[in-house]
Chain A
Amino acid sequence: MSEIQIAHEPRDPLMIAEEWMKAGKDVAVATVVETWGSAPRPVGSHLVIDSDGLFEGSVSGGCVEGAVVAEAAEVIADGKPRMLEFGVADETAWRVGLSCGGRIKVYVERLG
């Protein structure tokens, strides 16, 4: 859906991130900031990750979540935001599995 996100997500990642934060957890927020071709999740979609690697939401419908979660641990550790790019043109991305043919850019940042 390109405009209004019509349906509520059953478990809202940003609400969960706030709960985690209030519980004193370290949290990273990953956001799709650009897509090309047939990307499975629209720009603005979130994946939130805590320092134990627990996550909610999605940035690709399952294709690259593993790689984003791994990167999130680094972001939580050093506090520096990262811009990750995944796509078929990229060997690494192909390996982690964005097989739908699209390309996405994911911004990963620490909360706080």
Chain B
Amino acid sequence: MDPHSLKKLNQCRRERRAAILVTDLGDGRDRVVVEGDAPAGELGEALGAAFRSGKSGTVEADGRNFFLNVYLPPPRLVMIGAVHISQALAPMAGIAGFDLHIIDPRTAFASPERFPGIRLDAEWPEDVLKRSPLDAYCAVAALTHDPKIDDPALKAALEAGCFYIGALGSRKTHAKRVERLAAAGVPMSAVERIRAPIGLSIGAASPAEIAVAVLAEVIEALRSRGLQARKGEAA
């Protein structure tokens, strides 16, 4: 392996950028292709498919055998609101393997005692997300019911092309949210990406049951995502 390839690959992984290490199994030469930079032609098509599926494997292209090792950033669930649902959702999502991040400017909610061992920021989402930006491998669940806190996070999630964006609230609450986001200049095609009412329809009643419904919906979005196709649609 070329030392430059290893350095570039590790750099991409640190920066949460999707990359593929392409190794020519004939002559052993390799290079790193970052998502969005795939070349044209047969190999380029195979790379595009590998970025979408996330699957590593051997491909034949342009008369040569290549091994494509796909490195996608680990999915992260960002919860807006250090609320009761988050107290159940965070540990469940952690068990399912997600990186976790909770944001809520209300210090009474966002206390480490309520969320032991979980990355927690008691600040406004727009401030936190400037420091720690969202990307296509993040899921965002807006859970505060407070437009001042939820709306800026939803806008940021739509702009970043997050693979899942859900918002708590009834259909009526969501209709008002749609009006607000549209008035703020967010295109309708983007607003329609918000899953609301949040969570798969399993008749969830308690906060813990709603957490199960949300996590299931996030996993469904993760496993059926078409990241590349979605990027163009982002607001």
Bound CA span A26–B54, Å:
30
> When the two chains form their complex, are residues B55 and A14 in contact, meaning their CB atoms are under 8 A apart?
no
Question: How near does chain B come to A102, taking the closest CB pair, in angstroms?
Answer: 16
Complex-state Cα separation, A14 to B9, whole angstroms:
9
Residues from chain A with a CB closer than 8 A to the CB of B67 are 31, 33, 107
Q: CA A5 – CA B222 in complex, angstroms?
A: 12
Interface string of B63-105 (1 = CB under 8 A from A): 0000101101011000000000000000000001111000000
Q: Does A3 touch B at the CB level, under 8 Å?
A: yes
Tell me, in angstroms, the Cα distance from A2 to B1 when the chains sit together. Answer: 24
Q: Which residues of A contact B2 (CB under 8 A)?
A: 112
Interface centre among B7, B67, B72 (most CB of A within 10 A): B67
Indicate if A69 sits at the interface (CB-CB under 8 A).
Answer: no
> Which residues in B have their C-beta under 8 angstroms from that of A2?
55
Q: How large is the interface on A (under 10, 10 to 19, 20 to 34, 35 or more residues)?
A: 20 to 34
User: How many pairs of A and B residues are in contact by the CB < 8 Å rule?
Assistant: 65
Instruction: Indicate whether A4 reaches chain B with its CB closer than 8 angstroms.
Output: yes
A15, B10: Cβ atoms closer than 8 Å: yes
Q: How far is the CA of A7 from the CA of B28 in the complex (A)?
A: 29
Contact present for A33 and B75 (CB under 8 Å): no
Q: For the complex, what is the distance from the CA of A17 to the CA of B9, rounded to whole Å?
A: 12
Q: Known contacts A5-B72, A6-B74, A42-B56; can you find 19 more A-B pairs with CB under 8 A? A: A2-B55, A3-B53, A3-B55, A3-B223, A4-B72, A5-B74, A7-B74, A14-B6, A14-B13, A15-B13, A17-B6, A18-B7, A21-B6, A29-B1, A29-B6, A33-B25, A44-B70, A109-B1, A110-B1
State the A residues within 8 Å of B (CB): 2-8, 14-15, 17-18, 21, 29, 31, 33-34, 42-44, 81, 83, 107, 109-112
Of the A-B pairs whose beta carbons lie under 8 Å apart in the complex, a sample of 21, sorted by A's number, is A3-B223, A4-B54, A4-B75, A6-B96, A6-B98, A14-B9, A15-B10, A31-B69, A33-B25, A33-B57, A33-B67, A34-B58, A42-B56, A43-B57, A44-B69, A83-B25, A107-B67, A109-B1, A112-B1, A112-B2, A112-B3
